[in-house]
Structure 1
Amino acid sequence: MIPMFLLGALALLALLTQVGIVVIERRYPARGQAIEVDDATINLVDIGAKHASKPPLLLIHGASSNLEAMRHPLGELLAAQGHRVLLVDRPGHGWSRRTHVQDSTPAVQARMLNQALDKIGVTSVVLVVHSWSGALGTRMALDFPERVAGLVMLAPVTHVWRGGVGRYNKLVTTPLLGPLLAHTITLPLGLGLLDPGARGVFLPQPMPDDFVDQSATPLLLRPREFLANAHDLVTLKPAVMEQMPRYGDIRCPVTVISGEADRTVFTDIHSRAFAKAVAQTRLVVIPDLGHMVQNAAPDLVAAEVSRMVAELGRVPEAADALTK
């Protein structure tokens, strides 16, 4: 029998969560176009030069974030340099919804994003992916090679690592208990943890004081997104294990940019191992740089992206080269 005071506390937390959702969504409203695909609605923002001869750039955020984390400063910088920049909320994150919370793997999300690009008439892109989406970018290059003209990975997850992804994420993916936690304590508790958590990911660089607000990170605390994020993290390791043996099949040009001081996604385990597996990889490792490569070194990342685009030439030529 659950004590009445506990039921009352849970009811109060659930009410506070619903109020919090309204406040957060008003503070960070949807910006972009909603694209319907199988089992998901993809939120996409299109900025920069719309009719440039260069291939569009598709920027994809990592875990615990949304497209705003890739917009400032990197996406805006690339758009100002004359690139067409597509910013996307991964399925289940930001303002992208997915029908099934279990659609958490890079393979499933690669299919959804591939369909979204079809819907807007984009034939091929240069992917610029961060962290969790290193696994997503490689999966897109493997499953849809005609779509991926080039791949730029920032502090990417590519290989199996020791350990897990946090006990709370495991709890949140537990049937019944997980949704209960997500709809009661996650938002009230998480509001106080967002800032220190983000600062830890930035180390050894300082986090910009306005990062949490500018990146719309509080959207993560909404129950549906928190559940999706937890499933993404819990299923990532077996998904990476499954696709690792295929890396040698990647044919597009690849650039990997990582920090030697990254303690979130270790460069030795992931970036260096990937560069050994994929011969055409250009590996750039920056001393004293942490995990947030796009924030700490946006000019360097933009220069590497522009270098790749220049080498690819026009989109049709790049697509033809991939099919030969």
Structure 2
Amino acid sequence: MISITIAVVLGGLALATRAGIAIVEKRYPQQGQAIPVAGATINLVDIGPRNASGPPLLLLHGASSNLEAMRRPLGDLLAQRHRVLLVDRPGHGWSPRARPEDSTPAAQARMLDEVLARLGVGQVVLVVHSWSGALGLRMALDFPDRIAGLVMLAPVAYPWRGGVGRYNEAVTTPVVGPLLAHTITLPLGLALMAPGARGVFAPQVMPDDFVDRTATPLLLRPREFMANARDLVTLKQAVIEQAPRYGEIKVPVTIVAGGADRTVYTDIHSRPLARVVPQSRLIVLPDLGHMVQSAVPELVAGEVDRIVAAVTLADAVAP
């Protein structure tokens, strides 16, 4: 009798999840163009003037989000004077990926290089946040001719103590993970999403419309939630493997981080990274939290302009 009751409850939650997915996807439809690559289809939004001087900008969002988290306000601000490419990372937003193993910065770097090649884009300046700090570094290591410069916002770069949360670990477990993702993740996530986002913003105050404006509920779809969890669970080993190579990065790198960031600790990631990357500039704001692109977009845009100008000048005087 108990097993029948459990089956009925789980069946009801699964049906409610399917209905919820349809509502969420109708509320936040795909924007941009779909670009097929090996192992995924990448959703890309291309804004700003095509004839802007300097290389285009490629903006990469962190975990538990999609391209909209980088578009407003930062991407729209930068697009006033630069060509800006925004993508949903493989497995996120409207970029489905086929293989679970493509959760690593190395795999996603390869996919994004393929996207740029398909677009006919040469060098780019990367603007990366949080999880994508590791991705931006990997792109600079594996595809050095593709990357002209890096602007890194509260980046993950090194291993840290502890894990990434028991729920993320559970969701990556065979059988149990899909069961959780297809039953309780969406209703539970809708209840916890806003409080969780406020914690990531702290000590800054999260804008009231942030969750809706950035299409964050898309994360609660089962395939995206499982992809996000796997990204997080495999990240520590990925940075352990790539961190010894950071001294090889020769392009200019600017790091903007917060002394009050309790999501990605500046002393663990940004400060050590600035010490080993040859052309690095570190800006630490004492009262800044994790959402750098939302809290200080004008400062970030100024740093992007500085790197673009330096890269453009270097190209102009090169023999």
Report the CA distance between 1:314 and its aligned residue.
6.5
| TM-score, normalised by the number of residues in structure 1 | 0.96
Verify the 8 A CA contact 2:249 2:278 in the aligned structure 1. no
Distance across 1 between alignment mates of 2:89 and 2:52: 25
* Corresponding residue for residue 16 of structure 1: 16
Report the CA distance between 1:102 and its aligned residue.
2.4
* Corresponding residue for residue 144 of structure 1: 143
* Corresponding residue for residue 223 of structure 1: 222
Q: Summarize the alignment of residues 116-135 of structure 1 with structure 2, pairs less than 5 Å apart.
A: 116-135=115-134
SS of equivalent to 1:42: strand
Report the CA distance between 1:52 and its aligned residue.
1.7
Alignment size in residue pairs: 319
Report the CA distance between 1:50 and its aligned residue.
1.1
Distance across 1 between alignment mates of 2:141 and 2:211: 33
Verify the 8 A CA contact 1:102 1:228 in the aligned structure 2. no
* Corresponding residue for residue 272 of structure 2: 273
* Corresponding residue for residue 283 of structure 1: 282
* Corresponding residue for residue 112 of structure 2: 113
Q: Summarize the alignment of residues 241-280 of structure 1 with structure 2, pairs less than 5 Å apart.
A: 241-280=240-279
* Corresponding residue for residue 58 of structure 1: 58
Structure 1: tracts of 5 or more residues without a match? none
Distance across 2 between alignment mates of 1:11 and 1:84: 47
- Residue 208 of structure 2 is aligned to residue 209 of structure 1: yes
Distance 1:314 1:115, change over 3 A: farther
For 1:226, the aligned partner's letter is F
SS of equivalent to 2:79: helix
SS of equivalent to 1:245: helix
* Corresponding residue for residue 91 of structure 1: 90
Distance across 1 between alignment mates of 2:51 and 2:180: 46
Q: Deviations over 1:222-276 (max 9, x none)?
A: 0000000000000000000000000011011100000010000000000000001
Q: Summarize the alignment of residues 181-220 of structure 1 with structure 2, pairs less than 5 Å apart.
A: 181-220=180-219
- Residue 170 of structure 2 is aligned to residue 158 of structure 1: no
Report the CA distance between 1:53 and its aligned residue.
2.5
Structure 2: tracts of 5 or more residues without a match? none
* Corresponding residue for residue 299 of structure 2: 300
CA RMSD of aligned residues (A): 1.4
Q: Deviations over 1:101-125 (max 9, x none)?
A: 2210000000000000000000110
Distance across 2 between alignment mates of 1:52 and 1:298: 20
Verify the 8 A CA contact 2:53 2:82 in the aligned structure 1. no
Report the CA distance between 1:62 and its aligned residue.
0.1
- Residue 48 of structure 2 is aligned to residue 48 of structure 1: yes
Verify the 8 A CA contact 2:140 2:146 in the aligned structure 1. yes
* Corresponding residue for residue 79 of structure 2: 79
Report the CA distance between 1:280 and its aligned residue.
1.2
Verify the 8 A CA contact 1:53 1:314 in the aligned structure 2. no
Report the CA distance between 1:277 and its aligned residue.
1.1
Distance across 1 between alignment mates of 2:310 and 2:251: 12
Distance 1:3 1:258, change over 3 A: same
For 1:220, the aligned partner's letter is L
Distance across 1 between alignment mates of 2:91 and 2:235: 15
Verify the 8 A CA contact 2:259 2:289 in the aligned structure 1. yes
For 2:63, the aligned partner's letter is A
* Corresponding residue for residue 104 of structure 1: 103
For 1:250, the aligned partner's letter is I
Verify the 8 A CA contact 1:258 1:293 in the aligned structure 2. yes
Q: Deviations over 1:201-224 (max 9, x none)?
A: 000000000000001000000000
Q: Deviations over 1:274-305 (max 9, x none)?
A: 00111211000011000000000000000000
* Corresponding residue for residue 3 of structure 2: 3
Distance across 2 between alignment mates of 1:196 and 1:51: 42
| TM-score, normalised by the number of residues in structure 2 | 0.98
Q: Deviations over 1:300-323 (max 9, x none)?
A: 0000000110111169x28x97xx
Verify the 8 A CA contact 1:139 1:243 in the aligned structure 2. yes
Verify the 8 A CA contact 1:92 1:229 in the aligned structure 2. yes
* Corresponding residue for residue 27 of structure 1: 27
Q: Where in structure 1 do 4 or more consecutive aligned residues deviate above 6 Å?
A: none
Distance 1:40 1:314, change over 3 A: farther
Verify the 8 A CA contact 2:189 2:220 in the aligned structure 1. yes
Distance across 2 between alignment mates of 1:202 and 1:250: 30
For 1:312, the aligned partner's letter is V
